[in-house]
Amino acid sequence: GDSVTQMEGPVTLSEEAFLTINCTYTATGYPSLFWYVQYPGEGLQLLLKATKADDKGSNKGFEATYRKETTSFHLEKGSVQVSDSAVYFCALFGGWGNKLVFGAGTILRVKS
Amino acid sequence: GAGVSQSPSNKVTEKGKDVELRCDPISGHTALYWYRQRLGQGLEFLIYFQGNSAPDKSGLPSDRFSAERTGESVSTLTIQRTQQEDSAVYLCASSFDRGETQYFGPGTRLLVL
Beta A106-111 vs A11-14: how paired, if at all?
parallel
By the 10 Å C-beta count (0-12 exposed, 13-18 middle, 19+ buried), B87 is classed as middle
Partner residue opposite B42 with nearest CB, options A42, A46, A104 = A104
Structure confidence by residue, pLDDT tens digits, A15-74: 999 999 999 999 988 899 999 999 988 889 999 999 999 999 999 999 999 999 999 999
- Chain A residue with minimal CA distance to B97? A98
Give long-range contacts, CB 8 A cutoff, 24+ apart: B52-61: B55/A98, B56/A98, B56/A99, B59/A99, B59/B34
The distance of B101 to chain A (nearest Cα, Å) reads 8
- B93 interaction partners in chain A (CB closer than 8 Å): 100
The alpha-carbon radius of gyration of chain A (Å, integer) is: 13
Structure confidence by residue, pLDDT tens digits, B43-97: 999 999 999 999 999 999 999 999 999 988 999 999 999 999 999 999 999 999 8
